[in-house]
Structure 1
Amino acid sequence: MIEIGKEYSLSITDVALPSAFGVARAGEMVVFVPGLVPGDKARIRIARLDKRFGYGEAVELEERSAFREKPVCAHFGECGGCDLQQLAYEKQLEIKQNHLLQALKRIGGIHLEEVDISDIVPSVDRFFYRNKVEFSFGEDAGGQTILGLNEPVSPLHPYTGAIMPVRECCLFSPAAAKMLPHVREFVERSGLKAHNPTSGKGSLKRLVMREAKQSGEILINIVSESGIAGQLAGLAQTLKEAMPQLASVYTTTGNRTTLLWGRPYLEETVCDLVLRIYPLSFFQPNPRTAEELYKTIIPEAGISRNEHVAGLYCGSGAIELCLARRVKEVRGIDSSKDSIACAKENAAANGLENCSFFRDRAERAGVHCPPDRRDVVIIDPPRSGITKEALRAIVEMRPRKLIYISCNPSTFARDLRSLAQEYEPKHIIPFDFFPHTGHFEVLSLLERP
């Protein structure tokens, strides 16, 4: 009988995703343990018990896994940015592949032997791959304003929202290490305070950095509770002098952005297109690996130059724009006003005249795609997957093929089950967009039976 507070010597056999907790068994009870990896054996104190599983805390590492590696980042474990830096990258890929297979089998009801499932495609870069990071402002115990990353979520203690002052982020860019000291010094000098949602005092909420991976250009956006553009002018000047690659400095309050200095957008090169990225634009966070996925779509789906493509949940239209020169016409649908505006601007800037973008919900995609304009439908929904209404709309559109891109294997598998009467998965290719985390992307081709 497993009891809370008691310690047990347990072996870790797997990692649960997306939490990235180590998995052990104590009798019939599954125990999740943060920080441990397959092959570890540890003394574990049981902290919580539910009906079918429990959570434990590693008290002592008794046997070190052969898959353990020294984390590259000095802050690993202190912030919530990543979970698996201590695990060999090849093992991370193996665990993600297995997680996908289990989701397809258990949730999707897929007969794995009947579907061509490729090995996961590694990230082009294992570190410094992200094009965006969000730092948060907070207060230390002495009431001083601090800037860093949020504490990791853990089942072992309540989440407090504490901010960990970091010097770098190995998932984002070396540019963060150059920027952070200047912002901290300016904040201390200016007397600006972090926003406290309980008291309503203070203004500073977040600092968002974006980097164009091809050029190294940087966009900085300071998010505040109230308009403080005038007070931030000095910071813009300081950052401009300290960072030659800086292209833009913004401040944002609510949905209103104000350009303090520089060009209004970053320019990122993807699939030989130069795409503009604004402070509120959605763009895949690992653009170099995303480009590999985009290049796979045409040969995978067998799309010809005479066919029409519709993109649902198109965001800023990166996928649709990358396909435009290889097909007759593309149409994109997304509910975000900013994303659709960005997609239209990028189409014009790249001289793509066969692109149309519509601000609407995916559930109404058929309104914008006449029956003769829906040979192939590309679906790239949020983590929650496709709504039931959108699934019905897709089936009613009756495209020849579907390309489903997902960032959540569980909802992806659920949606495949819902589509099973109308479309069968033919090929599934996972891509590791997010090394050292419990997340990855999946590309799939579906056809009518």
Structure 2
Amino acid sequence: MIKKIEIEKLANDGEGLAYDDNKPVYVYYALPGEVIEAEVFTNQRNALEGKIIDIKEESQYRVKPQCPYYGLCGGCTLQHLDYFETLKYKREKLSFMFSTKIRKSTNKTTINNTIKSDFEYRYRNQTDLPVAFDGEKNIAGLYIRGSNQIFDMNDCVIQKANLSLTINKILKIMTDLEIYGYNYRSKKGVVKYISVRTNSLGEMQITFVLKQATDLEILVSKTASISNKVVSIYQIINDNDKSREALRGPKKLLFGSRYLKEYIDDKIFLLSPESFFQLNYDVTKKVYQLIKEKGNFSKEDVILDAYAGVASIGIYLADSVKQVWSIEINNSAVKAAEEAVKLNKIENIKVISGDVVKMTDYLTKQHFDKVIFDPPRSGLGEDVVNFVLKNEPKSVIYLSCDVKSLVKDLKMLSSKYDILETTPIDMFPMTAHVESITFLALKV
């Protein structure tokens, strides 16, 4: 049904929100204040969705997207919005959740302006692209929004330029060697994904994700010769066809160093293919510096760095405190953290392999002056929050990648902690995703 509607505001995924007969209509790529002609239909979630046919009245904040595939993959939903308006939107999104979900506990909470990215485009330092064979050549791209179909993507403008250039060269080498992308229907082909991670020096770690073990000797040799910036090449065998998690399965080093090194200030971090490290280096550096600046650390502090990944936060703060406990569940990340601690010649970090949730009884018996959390999207949960409430560290620093789980955890923590301030973080420009860092202090 064709409708003329006016967009009132941006919804959670960055889509425009309008109302038709008092029913919400969600319209991707529409902006507040715009009057549009749209095809309105009921989507798979049983909600009304609109597809823009024509923009009758255009927003003054509408800009031209740089991506030639914009609207196809659904990865970026805000390239059409002026960047500084995007920063405002992300602050408003966080502020709304605070004011509606934990209102009584946040009357005195300062909600700061969004930490901006130095790069609106070309910020992403890792890509894991599915590979397919189109009958003539290998292609790599993203899935068309709402489908299982990959489109041939020559470049992604939010990722570092060397990632696309390298993948395009690898695809040609594969085609010449008759090594093909995996087809989930016919079960032919072998390469499921190509992953490339780059650091602040432009060095690269490349991973081939395979359906089954295959002789890649010539492919690896030719890939290594693409650039002297290629420091390591891995393979991962992932035979699970039901999951889109690329970097899962047994891995093997085929060329070069075990780790890609990354640097923030005078500290070195070690990354393996499946290690978690933030995808926007410049914003990550700003966040780490903010933690050090606002954390008020002293040489008497024993701190807990939970959900530590490669212990990058713990390593970064080690010089400022008495001792750091870094806890991480991923064994590969733990090994990388242990080696990075030695490489940085740090003697006051204890790296522990374990699940924070299952360690709460043990952790409650320890003394921590301050705790830092960087949990997955699911947040801390009741067990970890209860550990904090029993242990009563003087302060809590909470890095969040999901606003909903954040406010749920903060509501529980607010029984003993003042929520001093929160800052939205634009880790992923051009998307609706907002991360944040919140500082809490034990009530006097």
Cα separation, partners in 2 of 1:400 and 1:364, compared to 1, 3 Å: farther
Partner of 2:181: 194
1:253 — aligned with what? 237
What are the equivalent positions in structure 2 for 1:233-382 lying under 5 Å apart? 233-254=217-238, 255-366=249-360, 369=363, 373-382=367-376
- In 2, the alpha carbon distance for the partners of 1:133 and 1:103 equals 31
Deviation at 1:98, TM superposition (A): 0.5
* 8 Å CA contact 1:14, 1:23 repeated in 2: yes
Give the direction of change, closer, same or farther, for the CA distance of 1:171–1:105 in structure 2 (3 Å limit): same
Q: Distance in 2 between matches of 1:14 and 1:267?
A: 43
Distance 1:187 1:52, change over 3 A: closer
SS at match of 1:205: strand
Distance 1:258 1:189, change over 3 A: same
The residue type paired with residue 247 of structure 1 is: V
- 1:223 corresponds, among 201, 206, 209, to 209
Question: How far, CA to CA, are the matches of 2:25 and 2:392 in structure 1?
Answer: 45
CA distance in structure 2 between the aligned counterparts of 1:38 and 1:168, rounded to whole angstroms: 30
Say which is worse superposed, 92-101 or 253-262, in terms of deviation. 253-262
Cross-structure match for 1:15: 10
Q: CA deviation at 1:135?
A: 0.8
Separation in 1 of the partners of 2:265 and 2:366? 27
Query: Which secondary structure does the structure 2 equivalent of 1:149 belong to?
Result: coil
Partner of 2:121: 127
Q: Give the corresponding residue for 2:36.
A: 42
Please state how far the C-alpha of 1:366 moved relative to its aligned partner: 4.6
Matched with 1:208 is 195
- Mapped pair 1:408 → 2:408: no
| Amino acid aligned to 2:6 | S
| Distance in 1 between residues matched to 2:43 and 2:315, nearest whole Å | 50
2:140 is the counterpart of 1:147: yes
Identity across aligned pairs (percent)? 25
Q: 2:415 & 2:123 partners in 1: Cα distance? A: 39
Q: What displacement does 1:204 show?
A: 1.3
Unaligned runs of 5+ in 2: 239-248
Shift of 1:368: 5.7
Shift of 1:244: 3.1
Q: CA deviation at 1:446?
A: 1.1
What is the aligned length? Answer: 433
Which stretch shifts more, 298-307 or 362-371?
Answer: 362-371
**Rounded Cα–Cα distance in structure 1 between residues aligned with 2:88 and 2:377:** 22
Please report the TM-score for the alignment, with normalisation by the length of structure 1. 0.91
5+ residue gaps, structure 1, are 1-5, 153-158
Could you tell me which amino acid in structure 1 is paired with residue 206 of structure 2? Answer: I
Q: Counterpart of 1:137 in 2: which secondary structure? A: strand
Q: The residue matched to 1:164 in structure 2 has which SS?
A: coil
- Deviations along 1:15-69, one digit per CA (max 9) or x if unpaired, are 222x221111224211101122223321012111799952111111212221111
The CA distance in 1 between the partners of 2:104 and 2:171, in whole Å, is: 52
Q: Give 1:162's aligned residue.
A: 149
* Aligned partner of residue 120 in structure 2, secondary structure: coil
CA distance, structure 2, for counterparts of residue 52 and residue 310 of structure 1: 44
1:8 alignment partner AA: K
Q: CA deviation at 1:134?
A: 1.1
Give the counterpart letter for 1:227 in structure 2. Answer: A
- Partner Cα distance (1:174, 1:56) in 2: 34
Match of 2:161 in 1: 174
